[in-house]
A and B are shown apart, each in its own frame.
Chain A
Amino acid sequence: MASSTTSNVYIHVIEDVINKVRDEFINNGGPGESVLNELQGLWELKMMQAGAILGPIDRSATQKSGAGGPITPNPVHDLNVPYEGTEEYETPTADLLFPPTPLPGTAQTPLPGMAQTPLPGTAPTPLPGSDSSSLYNIPTGGTPITPNEYTSTNENGVPEQPPSAWINQRPPLDVNVAYVEGREEGDRGAPHQPTTQDFFISSGKRKRDDLPPQYRGGGYIPQQDGAGDNLSDEDNRSQDLKVVQGGNQQMFVQVGTMSSRIPQLDGPIPDPYDDVLSTPNIYNYQGVVNEDYNMNTPMPNEMHAATPAPVQNDTGDDDDDDEPLNEDDDDDLDDVDQGEDLNTTHLVLAQFDKVTRTKSRWKCTLKDGIMHINNKDILFNKKSISIVWLLGISQATGEFDF
């Protein structure tokens, strides 16, 4: 922030410069008065933004009218005002924007965005329409299919809430949805969990603490041993996703081997979790069938998160560690650069009359200077004296007189 005196001085300088270059702008085929006004306007605007000039320029212009009389700053500000005006009118413009679009349209904008994301995922899977109704909290069965329809039907505030809830539920369920994709559940009247659980029943075989069931993440504990047994033994080995359909044959998606191979994916990671898994925390779909399942259940989401985590960490750490080390070394070596960098913060520009030194004590007589300290501009005139001490160094080179 500049004081009033410095601000006035700056304004005076600007006025003086503009007035003296006006002839060059107008005569000799120069750009013209308008360009000159634009120059002045921009210059003053930047000064105000930098805090070097206080208050509106109009006052100073009127005070300093002088040659500037015929050219009122108003036109200059007019150039700027429209911009400012537009800023001020931002809200009304925004308002203007809204009215043209019908309310439903506005409502639609968020909805489609919201609905679309989950919908596409759900569209292929009949679940949402059918079983997952409870899970997804879909108000209407038909809603999930087409976002457009959904939005169209429920344009007003209604759609907002259900989709939000719906959407909220989706992310956690997405993982499960992957598993569910294969399924086409005709019979699913049952809640999502039990159905998924059925799928994982095959995996139920995995008794062991290994993560494979975790990895499935579905955390769904297979309730039915029969279906699971068949699949589990043989199919488990393949990490392919299996979709089980129907009551008897259950399509389930398994990632990783169920029992023995489980560690493949998250091997190390799951280990620590094993202990955690021991306690059925998150998903206690069933507390019954297998404790192991319970162990696995909490993992599903966590496991998925775990797999990427280590990988990312490993790659990222190396890069991060290497680069900063090198950078730091370079920074420390350059004192000059540091000195130069300091210039940008605090700077004094002046003329010197005399610079003297006595042993370690320097004396400099400066004049007509501008100091930029702590974002403040201080102007000083003649006969200002600055004294500088150099500590700890004595020189025998003599004085410098100029």
Chain B
Amino acid sequence: MATFELYRRSTIGMCLTETLDQMVSGGVLSPELAIQVLIQFDKSMTEALESEVKSKVSVKGHLHTYRFCDNVWTFILQNAQLKSEDGQETVDSVKIVACDSKLLTQ
């Protein structure tokens, strides 16, 4: 089953990657096993997001860049306002990377 490696770029994903790299460099962990851990992380992360409490987020801003390549949308917004249930955030620039959700279902 293919997984989205998308979430490896998140905070939790980066922490895991760093930890695995550290352990592989130290010879404690084999690279193959590390890759398996990452794949499992992809699955677990996707499942967790699906089962997580639903929350809506709205984003508005000025589109600076848009890119669609390999079924991946990449947007760069400027002066963006992100409204969520927790509150509203305003940032000068934000990058949005989105993969096609249909790839997983297929």
Interface residues of A (CB under 8 A from B): 3, 5, 9-10, 12-14, 16-17, 20-21, 24-25, 30-31, 35, 38-39, 42-43, 46-47, 50, 52, 339, 342-343, 345-353, 355, 362, 364, 366-374, 376-391, 400, 402
Do B96 and A386 have beta carbons less than 8 Å apart? Answer: yes
Q: How far is the CA of A107 from the CA of B56 in the complex (A)?
A: 65
Interface of A is mostly: mixed
Please name 29 pairs of A and B residues whose Cβ atoms are closer than 8 Å in the assembled complex, sorted by A.
A9-B48, A9-B52, A13-B44, A20-B40, A31-B30, A35-B28, A35-B29, A39-B37, A42-B19, A46-B18, A339-B76, A346-B91, A346-B93, A346-B95, A348-B94, A349-B7, A349-B9, A350-B98, A350-B99, A351-B4, A351-B104, A362-B66, A369-B57, A374-B91, A381-B54, A384-B55, A386-B58, A386-B60, A390-B63
| B residues near A39, Cβ cutoff 8 Å | 19-20, 23, 29, 37
Do A13 and B93 have beta carbons less than 8 Å apart? Answer: no
| B residues near A353, Cβ cutoff 8 Å | 101-102
Q: How far is the CA of A380 from the CA of B75 in the complex (A)?
A: 18
Q: Count how many chain B residues have C-beta atoms less than 8 Å from C-beta atoms of the other chain.
A: 67
Do A400 and B68 have beta carbons less than 8 Å apart? Answer: yes
| A residues near B86, Cβ cutoff 8 Å | 3, 378
Pair count A-B, CB < 8 A: 212
Q: How far is the CB of B29 from chain A (nearest CB, A)?
A: 6
Partner of B16, one of A31, A43, A350, A389: A43
Q: How far is the CA of A386 from the CA of B82 in the complex (A)?
A: 9
Q: A21-B37, A384-B56 are in contact. Are A349 and B97 (CB under 8 A)?
A: yes
Q: How far is the CB of A260 from chain B (nearest CB, A)?
A: 65
| A residues near B37, Cβ cutoff 8 Å | 17, 21, 39
Interface of B is mostly: mixed
Do A384 and B98 have beta carbons less than 8 Å apart? Answer: no
Q: How far is the CA of A386 from the CA of B66 in the complex (A)?
A: 14
| A residues near B36, Cβ cutoff 8 Å | 21, 24
Q: How far is the CA of A248 from the CA of B102 in the complex (A)?
A: 103
Q: How far is the CB of A108 from chain B (nearest CB, A)?
A: 41
Partner of A389, one of B7, B49, B63, B65: B63
